[in-house]
Structure formats: C-alpha cells, structure tokens
Amino acid sequence: MKKILITGGAGFIGSHVVRLFVNQYPKYRIINLDKLTYAGNLENLRDVDQKPNYRFIKGDIAESGFINTLFAEEQFDGVIHLAAESHVDRSLENPNEFVITNIVGTVNLLHAASKAWQSNPEKRFYHISTDEVYGSIHGGGLFTESTHIDPQSPYSASKASSDHFVSAFGNSYKLPVLISRCSNNYGPNHFPEKLIPLMINNIIEEKPLPVYGKGENIRDWLYVIDHARAIDVIFHKGKTGEVYNIGGNNEWKNIDLVNFLCKVMDEKLGREEGASSKLITFVKDRPGHDLRYAIDSSKLQSQLGWSPSVTFEEGLNKTVDWYLSNKDWLSHVTSGSYRDYYSNMYANR
C-alpha cells in the first residue's frame, strides 16, 4: 500500500486529482492536505469523504515545522503538489502571498521530502506547474519543455521560482522529482473568479461580463478531468527529472470563447439568442497581460500515451450543465459562508 500526499486537494484541479486517485487506487492511502483558503472547498469532495483510503488534513505548507512533522509521522511514498495561490489578478494586488505559498511552501515540502526520503529513488515528488512560466508567445509556435522561462506576472514568477527549486532539489539532494506545466483548465467545481466560471455565474445572474482589453488574448483550454488523467499517467510512468507539458490543442481568443459561452447559456436558459452577449463589457486590460499561450504536449502523448479525450464543445456543455445543476454550490462559494463552516468542521481532524 502506497501513501500519497496530495497538496491543495480541496481546490479546483486538486479535488479532481484526489477523486481520481481515491477511486482508481483503493489500495493507496490518499492524504489531502489543504489550507482551505477561499478557493479550497471540501464540498468538492463529498463523494469520497467517507472512503476508507482517504483522509483530509487541514494545514499550511508555509509552516515548515508542521510540514516536517507531517513527513516524519506519515512516511509518504509520493507527493503530488498542487497547493498554490493561482489567480493573476490577486498576485498583482498582493504578491507577497504568492511568494509565501508558492515559493516558501514548495521549498518546505521539498526540504521535508529530501530529509525523509534520503534520496530513495522509489519515492516521487511531482510538482504541478503552469504554462504561464513560459511568458507570452509572440507570433506562431508552441511552448515546448525546452522553451525559455520568462514569467510576466507575480503569479507566474512565483511558479517559475518554485519550478527552479524543484529542479535544484533534484540536482543537489538527488530528490526524485517531476514537473508538469499545463494550459488553462475548465470544468466542474471551478471557483468563479477565473474566466469561464465567472462568465457562467454572471450570465446566470445577468450581470456584466468583463472582458480585458479587446478580448484578443489567446489561451489553450483543457478539460480538468483530462488534466487529472495526465497527472495520473505522469506520476506513475513519467521519468524522474523530466518536465512534461499538458495541453488541449484548443486555442480560443477570449472574446470568441465568451461569445460561444453566451450562445450555449442562452440555449440552456431558454433566453433569446444574443441576450447574454449584450452583457459583455470591455474593461481596462490587466498589467503585463500575456497575449498568447499554446502548449505542445507531443512529448507526453508520444512517450506516455496520454491525449485529451474531451472536445471543447463537449467539455463546455458538461461544465455549463454542472453549474446549472449546482446553484447551491455557486451560492455557497460566492457568499464565503462555507469557508467558516468547513474550517470549523475540520479544524481538529
């Protein structure tokens, strides 16, 4: 039986990874460590909360003493590290939080693992990063694993720094490490501050749909469950020391995506075609807003056999249907009341 620590497992991507591992590997012991910030929501994991191979621990990766004790007591066989502050706009307002969680927290985990594992090659420390560390593509082309790191926001700078620390611990301490960098995710349980869930929530409530600049920024979109599948494959089959890009081969201009989403929502809500598009409001562009991200995931596909399984149209329809069927979840996360409730429930667990 392997004991796997998944950090940030109550968040958007993390909850899908936890669910997959708990259900797919009943002989694994899955430990979900999450601080339960505004984006960490244990409602995301109600369906696995009582499974015998699952345990939740509330804690902060930035607290080195706590992390050292946890590793000494639990004797983990592997770490899948997703815990991070991840919203670019918030990083512009308060970059220090991103330094503390994304850099200091990652180093605390690396240091604890290196001491506990003593260069054991049977262990595995897997760090989940982002394509934003590459910066912006000017013109054509795709990000490959050898693309120069060129972060343009405090968020991406903090993730780039944590990537470098992961590689450095692999080199200096012979820690068995892996890194993956993924394009934009979408799907169920996504906190409504990012583009797609924000637009869905605002369309439901008939609020303005804020689009930065002229909406010409381009992103590659991947359904979150396909990302969780990729993480599973990389964790089990990836080569130690390697970096793997994960992408959806699915580029959209922001304005085109929002218009398409408006069309889907109008159909599902029984509104007149074009009703939601009238809510689009162009706002001042974000400082340092990267123009285009696009991922080349051919290494992952050719070496490990993974590929996206859900088309964007299919995934977006599934996503919209989930939000329309889970309006109580939306109400809870936008009100913030759930955080106090769940934090108290799990304070001593």
Contacts of 283 (CB under 8 A, 6+ apart): 210, 211, 212
Which of 155, 244, 293, 338 is catalytic? The answer is 155
Instruction: Return d(Cα 66, Cα 112) in angstroms, integer.
Output: 10
SS3 of residue 81 by DSSP? strand
Instruction: Return d(Cα 73, Cα 78) in angstroms, integer.
Output: 14
Instruction: Return d(Cα 186, Cα 6) in angstroms, integer.
Output: 20
47 part of the active site: no
- Strand extents, DSSP E, the chain: 3-7, 29-34, 54-58, 78-81, 124-130, 177-182, 184-186, 209-212, 218-223, 243-246, 251-253, 280-283
Find out whether 81 and 7 touch, Cβ atoms under 8 Å.
yes
Tokens, residue 26? 């009943």
Query: Do the bridges between strand 251-253 and strand 218-223 make them parallel or antiparallel, or are there none, so unpaired?
Result: antiparallel
338 part of the active site: no
The HSE-up count of residue 38 (CA atoms within 13 Å, CB side) is: 10
173 part of the active site: no
Find out whether 147 and 163 touch, Cβ atoms under 8 Å.
no
Tokens, residue 303? 């070496």
Which of 34, 60, 85, 132 is catalytic? The answer is 132
Which of 34, 85, 131, 163 is catalytic? The answer is 131
Number of neighbouring beta carbons within 10 Å of residue 195: 23
Tokens, residue 196? 């797609």
| Residues annotated catalytic, as ranges | 131-132, 155
